[in-house]
A and B are shown apart, each in its own frame.
Chain A
């Protein structure tokens, strides 16, 4: 009998890129539901806009680069970028802001670097930073969460859609009535005004640890992250590194210089910390690859988040921290190469 020849191994792999990306999307569902609950339907509209433009940007680039479009889109990576962008955007964001971020993420940050697997920077964070720099006013308009504010105004779907499409609210509604400074902004401004952290915690916007609502979104995000860890889609090194990189300096400062520093719990449950630790920093393409390297990479991100929040001019620093550490990845990878079995142990100064 005659047979065809193949190369070993003859056992087929069980995982694939699309299923990894799908798992990430599933893991984001609890956080998405929480986001919608606390901040309204704007998240869904942002997600739709981001998805449309991420897919459009990716398709356009694949076409220009002469790559297969359908099979590449089926890896779901564009949708993961879209979902992360939707999480980063305020609930009320005009569509062109989201579109700019989505197009920059896919066209420039992803495909101009060679597409999935070759991008140096996390596409979602690159897109977010461009939007942040290009539309600073829109990117800082956060509504109050559905709890913790006596003047809370429920923004209806129609009002949200109107704003997303036109960038303006109905005449009866002013921005001042619905927008609130984020907990990070409150703390930053308050501490600059010589208020103590304990005084600031008495604000109605503040919850047990972080901002009201925000901390619950954080819980649900962590829940999804834990599921990813359980499913072995991500490994513990990066989330652990991010959290330690942030919590260690935060705790030290909180204990050593009491009063003028936010608590580590506040840092953990406010802003994008948890989303970053489990979903953004863990993007394998733009992260370090060795176990040790991932710890360093995560720790660097965590520390930079702390540094930017503490000493920078932006309220949150997740995106900048991730992008800066993305740049450090080649060096981290080079310096943390594992010891090859059977090779002499490396000494300091060896290449």
Chain B
């Protein structure tokens, strides 16, 4: 039995940046477990799609793993209790998805006992399920993409089964600086991860899988390599890719590994690929084989603003404040709280936001050195050189300033993945990514407005049509009456005229 060596592949990805990794401070120690907090805050919307519908009442006692809110609508994911305790409120609470503004959350006061809910059914080996029912089962575990996009995994896989597929790609690239939760997860939970991979391959009936890891994670590569050697599953290949940001984006990874471009507005399944984050695979394994729904995740707590940077396993719903104090609290210089990485993360205004399924990193930065003011674009073209989509950010910026929707579209604004590379190389310090985000929002607004106007137009036209038909009906009825009256002779006409006269007298305004 030979140990599967990591194969090195330099795919065809345009641009990108080699950023300082800043990962060493959080990878020095093993993953630590954050103790049960006093309070858990569980937003009912932790995923792409419709918010989940709460099915518990205030005052109700819930157990760990119990369903709190069920999936609602065609795209949604359920939420489970991450510890035992009493539901004390269902109320708006600051959340990171809305940058610290409030969204409805289920608040649980924990009793610290961590009493587990009874499993609705015994766990059985995954291959006793039919593939379709396995996908249904994944849906019920509340599992969403843990790379940060939080698309409900069950629905993603169901969509994938409708397409001709070739590869399952496990994303262990984690290209953003500071974040190391996937790295540590691969080092410590390689067996679970591979178990998840086998479940995914079974459910999708796939025979080729790439586990893709960046070259700057040798420990993760060797851990996965050893686990693979033990598993001896020839369908799974370990691939090493160079450390270039943003190769961990879903579409970028597909391009890097298969040299296929995901069509604009399309999905990786359009080119025969399904991409899953390594953490998602481990979560699937824990749900299917151990019966534990998605109630905790590995999160990196790091940055110069945190006393002891580390990776933690935290229950979903633990507030960021609790986690920071577990990591030794803030340093004196702490100035910025960011949920996610330094390139794509979102800065929030308060640390009372909870860790949600999407939270891969809690980053605390010191005060940034003041940047010189925004200067005019000198068309140096650096932004175009680093753009992984091969857009022309300097042109887009021009059109965004001019609000030229048509040009923005034809120059691919909607294809921008907001990776932030252009911001970093811009000598004029133009906040390009933020400008593009705003321009996208404006385009969306315009489209909505257009749709509204279109609906109004249709309503107006159908009303006109209705009035027209009514008029025609009335006219034809009148003509009929006239004809009949003519047939009936002058006496009848006299009578009709008299009747009309009477009516006019009663109602002179008519």
Chain A residues close to B by CB (< 8 Å):
1-20, 71, 75, 115-118, 235, 284-285, 287, 289-291, 294, 333, 337-344, 351
Residues on the A chain within 8 Å of B379, using CB:
117, 284-285, 287, 289
Does B344 reach chain A (CB closer than 8 Å)?
yes
Report the separation of the CA atoms of residues A115 and B411 in the bound assembly, to the nearest whole angstrom. Answer: 25
B381 touches A10 (CB 8 A): no
Judging by beta carbons under 8 Å apart, are A118 and B389 in contact? no
- Most chain B beta-carbon neighbours within 10 Å: one of A13, A20, A117, A337: A13
CB-contact partner of A8 in B100, B345, B350, B429, under 8 A? B345
Set of chain B residues within 8 Å of A19, measured between Cβ atoms: 427
B440 within 8 A of A: no
Nearest to A19 among chain B residues (CB) is B427
**Interface-forming stretch among B29-37, B149-157, B367-375, B442-450?**
B367-375
CB distance from B366 to the nearest CB of A (A): 11
Q: How far is the CB of B335 from chain A (nearest CB, A)?
A: 7
Does B388 interact with chain A (Cβ within 8 Å)?
yes
CA distance A287 to B381 in the complex (A): 10
Contact indicator A10/B336 (Cβ below 8 Å): yes
Q: Are B377 and A6 in contact (CB under 8 A)?
A: no
Report which of B350, B381, B389, B418 forms a contact with A3, defined as CB distance below 8 A: B350
Shortest Cβ distance from B324 into chain A, in angstroms? 8
Given A71-B373, A284-B378, A340 and B384 contact (CB-CB distance below 8 Å): no
Contact A13 B343 (CB under 8 A): no
List of A residues within 8 angstroms of B19 by Cβ = 11
User: Does B423 have its Cβ within 8 Å of any Cβ on chain A?
Assistant: yes
Q: How many residues of B sit at the interface, in one of the four size bands?
A: 35 or more
* Distance (whole angstroms) from the CB of A119 to the closest CB of chain B: 10
Give the CA-CA distance A10 to B344 in the complex, in Å.
8
Q: What's the Cα separation between A71 and B336 when bound, in Å?
A: 28
The answer, among B255, B321, B381, for a CB contact under 8 Å with A1, is B321
Q: Interface segment, B229-237, B256-264, B474-482? A: B256-264
**Given A11-B343, A15-B427, A17-B427: A342 and B389 interface contact (C-beta under 8 Å):** yes
Q: With CB as the reference atom, state the residue of chain B lying closest to A333.
A: B395
B342 touches A13 (CB 8 A): no
Q: Is the CB of A8 within 8 A of B266?
A: no
Are A8 and B344 interface neighbours, CB within 8 A?
A: yes
Q: Name which residue of chain A comes closest to B368, CB basis.
A: A12
Cβ of B89 within 8 Å of any chain A Cβ, yes or no, is no
Q: Are A11 and B376 in contact (CB under 8 A)?
A: no
Contact between A118 and B376 (Cβ–Cβ < 8 Å)? Answer: yes
Contact B349 A116 (CB under 8 A): no
- Report the nearest A residue to B348, measured CB to CB: A3
B264 touching A340, Cβ below 8 Å: yes
Name A283's closest neighbour in chain B (CB-CB): B378
**Residues of chain B within 8 A of A339, CB atoms compared:** 390
Q: Which residues of B contact A16 (CB under 8 A)?
A: 372, 375, 427-429
Decide: A338 near B390, CB < 8 A? Known: A5-B348, A10-B365, A117-B377: yes
Hey, which chain B residues are within 8 Å of A351, CB to CB?
Answer: 410
Most buried by B among A71, A290, A344: A290
Closest residue of A by beta carbon distance from B423? A9
CB distance from B97 to the nearest CB of A (A): 14
Complex-state Cα separation, A16 to B336, whole angstroms? 24
Per the 8 Å Cβ criterion, residues 251-294 of B in contact with A are 251, 255, 261-266
- The distance in angstroms between the C-alpha atoms of A2 and B337, with both chains bound, is 9
Contacts of B411 in A (CB 8 A): 337, 340
B412 within 8 Å of A by Cβ? yes
Cα–Cα, bound, A5→B377 (Å): 25
**Chain B residues with CB under 8 A of A3:** 335-337, 347-351
Chain B interface (Cβ within 8 Å of chain A)? Answer: 14, 19, 99-100, 177, 251, 255, 261-266, 321, 330, 334-338, 340, 342-351, 363, 365, 368-369, 371-373, 375-382, 384-385, 388-392, 394-395, 410-412, 415, 418, 420, 423-429, 431, 433-434, 437
For A9, the closest partner residue in chain B by CB is B420
Q: Which residue of B lies closest to A116 (CB)?
A: B376
Chain B, Cβ-Cβ closest to A290 = B384
- Tell whether, in the assembled complex, residue B349 and residue A4 are in contact, meaning their CB atoms are under 8 Å apart: yes
Query: Lowest 9 A-B CB distances belong to which pairs?
Result: A117-B376, A9-B420, A342-B264, A7-B434, A289-B381, A340-B412, A284-B380, A10-B342, A338-B390
From known contacts A15-B425, A340-B390, infer whether A6 and B415 are also in contact, taking CB-CB under 8 Å.
no
Neighbouring B residues of A15 by C-beta, 8 Å: 382, 425, 427
B100 contacts across to A, CB distance below 8 A: 5
Q: Given A15-B427, A289-B392, A8–B381 Cβ distance below 8 Å?
A: no
Query: Chain B contacts of A340 at CB under 8 A?
Result: 264, 389-391, 411-412, 415
Question: What separation, in Å, do the CA atoms of A7 and B99 have in the docked complex?
Answer: 10
Interface centre among B335, B348, B376, B426 (most CB of A within 10 A): B376
Q: CA–CA, A2 to B353, complex, Å?
A: 11
Chain B nearest Cβ from A131, distance in angstroms: 25
Determine if A8 and B343 form an interchain contact, defined as CB atoms under 8 angstroms apart. Answer: yes
Q: Decide if B424 touches A11 in the complex (CB within 8 Å).
A: yes
Distance of A207 Cα from B194 Cα, bound (Å) = 72
Complex A-B: 27 CB contacts under 8 Å? A3-B348, A5-B347, A7-B434, A8-B347, A8-B433, A9-B344, A10-B343, A10-B363, A11-B342, A11-B420, A11-B424, A12-B368, A12-B369, A13-B371, A13-B426, A13-B429, A14-B424, A19-B427, A71-B372, A75-B375, A115-B376, A285-B379, A340-B389, A340-B412, A341-B388, A341-B389, A342-B264
Alpha-carbon gap, A18 to B371, bound state (A): 13
Closest Cβ of chain B to A295, distance in Å, is: 13
**B437 to chain A: which residues have CB within 8 Å?**
7
Known: A117-B378, A342-B251. 15 other contacts (CB 8 A): A2-B350, A6-B347, A7-B431, A8-B434, A9-B433, A10-B368, A11-B424, A12-B369, A12-B371, A16-B372, A17-B375, A284-B378, A341-B255, A343-B264, A344-B263
- The docked-state distance in angstroms from the alpha carbon of A303 to that of B350 is 61
Chain B residues, CB < 8 A from A9: 342-344, 420, 423-424, 433
User: Measured between alpha carbons, how far is A178 from B278 in the docked complex, in Å?
Assistant: 78
Q: Are A1 and B330 in contact (CB under 8 A)?
A: yes
> Across the interface, do A13 and B388 meet the contact criterion of CB distance under 8 Å?
no
In the complex, what's the smallest C-beta–C-beta distance from A344 to chain B, in angstroms?
8
On whether the beta carbons of A17 and B428 are closer than 8 Å, the reply is yes
A280 CB to nearest chain B CB (Å): 15
A284 touches B381 (CB 8 A): yes
Bound CA–CA A3/B321 (angstroms): 12
Q: A264 CA to B188 CA in the complex, in Å?
A: 65
Contact B376 A13 (CB under 8 A): no
Which of B262, B363, B395 is close to A342, meaning CB atoms less than 8 Å apart? Answer: B262
A10 adjacent to B347 (CB under 8 Å): yes
> Do B427 and A8 touch across chains, with their CB atoms under 8 A apart?
no
Most buried by A among B349, B390, B415, B418: B390
A4-B350 Cα distance, complex, nearest whole Å: 9
Residue on A with the closest CB to B329? A1
Report the Cα distance A335→B455, complex, angstroms. Answer: 38
- A193 to B120 Cα, complex, angstroms: 103
A284–B428 CA distance with the chains assembled, in angstroms = 13
- Contact between A343 and B427, CB atoms less than 8 A apart: no
Contact pick for B378, options A17, A290, A338, CB 8 Å: A17
Cβ contacts under 8 Å, A75 to chain B = 375
Could you tell me the distance between the alpha carbons of A249 and B363 in the complex, rounded to whole angstroms? Answer: 58
Contacts of A337 in B (CB 8 A): 392, 411
Closest to A237 in B: B381
Q: Contact partner of B261 among A11, A235, A341, CB < 8 A?
A: A341
Bound complex: CA A335 to CA B261 (Å): 22
